[in-house]
A = this chain, B = another copy of it.
Amino acid sequence: MAGKRTGPNLTKIGEALGVSSATVSNALSGKGRVSADLVKKIRKKASDMGYVPSNAGRALRTGRSGVLGLVLPDIANPLFPQIAQAMESAASANGYGVLIADSRGEVTTQTDAIGRLIERGVDGLIVIPRRGTRIGTVGCPVAMVDTPSTPGNTVSADHWHGGEQIAHHLAGLGHKNILLLGNDPASNVQNDRIGGMRAAFPADISCQTIWLEPILRQGGTTASLNLPDLVKNGVTAIATVSDLLALRVLTELQTAGFRVPAQVSVTGFDDLIFSPVVTPALTTVHMDMAQIAKIAVAALISEITGNRDKKPTPASSKKRTVPDTVMADTSRVPMELIIRSSTGPATPDQTPLPNGETL
């Protein structure tokens, strides 16, 4: 007999004490009305016997698994650790487990991943959708973590506002000629960040936006950007859409002999693990993942337990067009500007000093 439990169960505890398993169940869960001292006796016995409740039994009976699924577009994403950590923490604080699935950037894989999670019986799904993807009805509550500009109900950081903060910071330092660097123009998140920045720059600031991904896709290299030339021609700040891009820019500039921030300021987004470690440390925008996770998990759980007594009448289930998506409406979590040393005042003298003899 495969993997059969060897440990104690409710019945065995009951037998040891001469009570029924129902009473043990009630005592342990604190639900039924069981006399205080019986409860105490049962609890002690259970812990003495090393009782571990069976999730399978409970799940089969209640129809709930106590597990949430986390669908990630690409686990290799450097932001993923923050996301997974926050979700795991929020979920386990509520007694839920987290099952992960990696969609490896493919839409079909995303669908498969969701399917696998559903089969495993998750009670709800947190999905960080692949760029611009929509999730159909899946038969369980879904919380999406994306951008506020994504249609549908989502939790997300307010990327637009993050962009505004970067813009104000840079404008306040006197920069007038700014390069905005994005990666993928199809990304809602990146568009919001760039959009926020552009919207917040005063009229006297000239800025241009370059998207890297399309250049690379057409066989170009990072070098085609020619950052040094741009700087020589007057750009005093480069605001990127991610710390990874900022790191790329920063080191490329340093290698070319420019001094950051003395000659050029550089900013990122996301406050990735390496951002404070680099010299100069990156000015960036931090998202409160813990908060996002808390909201997503709370929304999911309220939907899961809220449905508890509503017996799904066929009629009502027909009426709901987007039945499985959670969250009253879009929640925006503020982002926090983190000023570090990669940004500084715009140099009055725009002349390039590649080899930085001014040290």
Q: Which A residues have a C-beta under 8 Å from some C-beta of B? A: 1-7, 52-57, 59-60, 62-67, 75-78, 80-82, 84-85, 88-89, 92, 97-102, 116-121, 123, 139, 244, 247-248, 250-252, 254-255, 257, 259-260, 273-274, 277-280, 304, 307-309, 311-312, 354-357, 359
Contact = CB atoms under 8 A, between A and B. Distances in A.
Contact of A56 (B60, B92, B274, B277): B60
A63 to B, nearest CB: 3
A64 B3 contact: yes
Contacts of A254: 251, 254-255, 279
Instruction: State the copy count for this chain.
Output: 2
A78 to B, nearest CB: 5
Contacts of A99: 67, 97-100
A257 to B, nearest CB: 6
Contacts of A247: 247, 274, 277-278
Contacts of A120: 55, 66-67, 97
A77 B80 CA distance: 10
A274 B244 contact: yes
A357 B7 CA distance: 73
A102 B88 contact: yes
Nearest to A355: B355
Contacts of A277: 244, 247-248
Contacts of A304: 3
